[in-house]
Amino acid sequence: MRDYYTLKINLPAGIVSPGALQQVLTLAREAKVRNVRFGARQQLLMTVHYEDMRFLEKDLKTHRINYELNTDQFPNIISSYCGEEVFRTGDWLQESEYHTVLDYFDYQPRLKINLSDSNQSFTPFFTGNLNFIASPEPHFWYLYVRPKQSNTVFRWRDLIYTNDIGRLAKAVEDAMLEDGHNGEDELYNAVTQGRTYISQPATGEVELPEFSLPYYEGFNRYGHRSWLGLYRRDEQFSIPFLLDICALCLATRIGEICVTPWKSLIIKGIEEKDRPKWSYVLGRHNINVRHAANELAWQTEDDTDEGTHLKNFVIRFFEKNDTRTFGLCFGVQTRPKSEVFGSILIRKRPLLQIGQLALFSVYDLYFTENFNPNSRTYHRFDKGLLKIHLPAQIDRLCRKFSARRLQESPEPARPETDQSDPTDLATGSVHQCPHCLTVYDEQYGDLLQHIPVGVPFNDLPDKYACPTCDASKQDFVEIQLSTSLSQ
């Protein structure tokens, strides 16, 4: 008999109400669970001792909460909803559209389904079997199909209307899983025969943005409100902390908590007057929200600590050697059939194996086509690496990426001007937050915090904090400026 079970609760589109999450966490706490995790497909995961599992199962059934034990028969619907409004750059896709799509799913999908804004790069586009991507045409979506156990992706012939996504997804799933239709033409004919959908011809491929992972942690302002990103280095969130988060959301009328594919949380809509309450909760549970950006750009497998340990091992090398990783994300794959998202992929494989027992393992290093993590094409960079040699090779690969980017986008040539020497117009200094790069310049002050123009940095009150990420005044670094102009 197993000592522990892995329990999974799907959070469709990565959205959960504070009240619903509070109820699940309360039941888990009564079953002696102390920490939970969030999966790469935006699920809630927890490990439960077998002696407590039967009591928790009874409670979950009483409250009609769907769950799975040690299985993944129903992969969660994932979406880019978590980045909407705070990272979004799209024209028509709003948060309400995601809710409309979910309302038309009246079944539990057995295929992986992704819903994505085409103008974001925060969540993956093609890690699902059915990948719906917003088109430029309002309320119509591209569909890219990847049959199960396949690396082939093909585009559906039509753009799908928002209200038909759930119905079409069910028809495609039945045709693939029940009738065995996996080819592009046979699948299309099987789904559309005798059925009508609101659609438009898909005349071209979807245009996706260049990958750039936004910094998704800490306090960040948008409009007159803030959002808070929560990341944990060990991917473990304590239940007491999450219960306090839920209670504060309910008290301050925040109706949703978002789970991201990076196994983190985003809480939107924090009013300025409530910021001190959130800072109090973070301080009460000793939660740090200023991790380096290169630490946040990693995806590891669910239900294993091995990938997390390897990630931290490589990050220590990055910190020591000041490795530049901007524009990249990393995936760690320690199991043969698992799937992770990354422009650089680390794959573990056994060098010597007896049956199911791996006696000695090495690592192979891959990068995606054009270093785009949404590409399905991988190129091997090195193979058979020992763990101790892996960070240096990843550093080489990062340098290869930076060199390639410089070749593709060289610094533009400056037009020649009259023969004259540049004359410095102004020199001085500003103070910059090292965490989010926000600058305080006394020429502009900080109107959001009622600091008028002309107040020197040293005269700011000791309690002054970064207006973007809440870093303290003591963290700011002085930066020298020099501007020049040819006369």
What does the pLDDT look like over 217-253, one tens digit per residue? 999 998 889 999 999 999 999 999 999 999 999 999 9
Specify whether 342 is located in the same domain as 437. no
The lowest-confidence range among 180-189, 234-243, 468-477 is 468-477
| pLDDT per position as a tens digit, 299-334 | 999 988 899 999 999 999 999 999 999 999 999 999
The lowest-confidence range among 265-274, 415-424, 433-442, 458-467 is 415-424
- 189 within domain boundaries: yes
- 258 within domain boundaries: no
Taking 70 as the threshold, does the pLDDT of residue 89 lie above it?
A: no
Specify whether 463 is located in the same domain as 370. no
DSSP label at 406? H
pLDDT band at 2 (very low <50, low <70, confident <90, very high): low
| CATH number of 469's domain | 2.20.28.10
| pLDDT per position as a tens digit, 250-304 | 999 999 999 999 999 999 999 999 999 999 999 999 999 989 999 999 999 998 8
Taking 70 as the threshold, does the pLDDT of residue 412 lie above it?
A: no
The pLDDT value given to residue 427: 53
| CATH number of 330's domain | 3.30.413
Q: Is the backbone of residue 355 left (phi > 0), alpha (psi -120 to 50) or beta? A: left
pLDDT band at 197 (very low <50, low <70, confident <90, very high): very high
Query: Do the Cβ atoms of 448 and 467 come closer than 8 Å?
Result: yes
DSSP β-bridge partners for residue 7: 46, 69
Specify whether 356 is located in the same domain as 392. yes
Domain boundary among 363, 385, 408: 408
Query: Do the Cβ atoms of 41 and 299 come closer than 8 Å?
Result: no
- 35 within domain boundaries: no
In which element (H, E) is residue 225 found? Answer: strand 225-230
Specify whether 469 is located in the same domain as 378. no
Q: Which of these, 164, 150, 287, lies nearest to 228 by C-alpha position?
A: 287
- In angstroms, the CA 241 to CA 225 distance is 22
Q: Which of these, 240, 236, 242, 291, lies nearest to 267 by C-alpha position?
A: 242
| Structure token pair of residue 314 | 């490589």
The lowest-confidence range among 133-137, 349-353, 364-368 is 349-353
Specify whether 106 is located in the same domain as 188. yes
Helix axes 50-62, 18-30, angle to 10 degrees: 140
Q: Are strands 130-134 and 113-116 parallel, antiparallel or unpaired?
A: parallel
Specify whether 108 is located in the same domain as 194. yes
Specify whether 340 is located in the same domain as 435. no
- The chain-wide mean pLDDT, for the chain, equals 90
- 358 within domain boundaries: yes
Domain boundary among 408, 440, 463: 408
pLDDT band at 434 (very low <50, low <70, confident <90, very high): confident
Specify whether 385 is located in the same domain as 343. yes
Query: Do the Cβ atoms of 70 and 53 come closer than 8 Å?
Result: no
- Distance linking the first and last C-alpha atoms of the chain: 82
Q: What is the mean pLDDT of residues 354-371?
A: 87
- 240 within domain boundaries: no
- 126 within domain boundaries: yes
Q: Which domain holds residue 312?
A: 294-408
The lowest-confidence range among 137-141, 164-168, 450-454 is 450-454
Give the chain's domain count: 3
The pLDDT value given to residue 336: 82
- 236 within domain boundaries: no
Taking 90 as the threshold, does the pLDDT of residue 26 lie above it?
A: yes
- In angstroms, the CA 376 to CA 383 distance is 19
Q: Which of these, 97, 91, 85, lies nearest to 119 by C-alpha position?
A: 91
Specify whether 194 is located in the same domain as 96. yes
Specify whether 123 is located in the same domain as 99. yes
Q: Amino acid identity, residue 464?
A: Y
Residue that wins the pLDDT comparison between 409 and 421: 409
Neighbours of 365 (CB within 10 A): 20
User: ∠ CA(270), CA(39), CA(289), 5° rounding?
Assistant: 40
pLDDT band at 134 (very low <50, low <70, confident <90, very high): very high
Taking 60 as the threshold, does the pLDDT of residue 414 lie above it?
A: no
Residue that wins the pLDDT comparison between 451 and 75: 75
The pLDDT value given to residue 309: 94
Reduced to 3 states (helix: H, G, I; strand: E, B; else coil), residue 298 is: strand
Which own/partner pairs from 284-289 qualify as long-range (CB within 8 Å, at least 24 positions apart)? 284/244, 285/238, 285/240, 285/241, 285/244, 287/230, 287/241, 289/217, 289/218, 289/219, 289/228, 289/229, 289/230, 289/231, 289/469, 289/470
- 357 within domain boundaries: yes
Taking 70 as the threshold, does the pLDDT of residue 487 lie above it?
A: no
- In angstroms, the CA 101 to CA 93 distance is 11
Cα dihedral sign, 155-160-165-167: negative
Specify whether 432 is located in the same domain as 363. no
The lowest-confidence range among 128-132, 239-243, 289-293, 353-357 is 353-357
The pLDDT value given to residue 1: 46
pTM for this predicted structure: 0.84
Specify whether 480 is located in the same domain as 433. yes
Helix and strand totals (H; E) in the chain: 10, 25
Domain boundary among 385, 408, 431: 408
The pLDDT value given to residue 120: 92
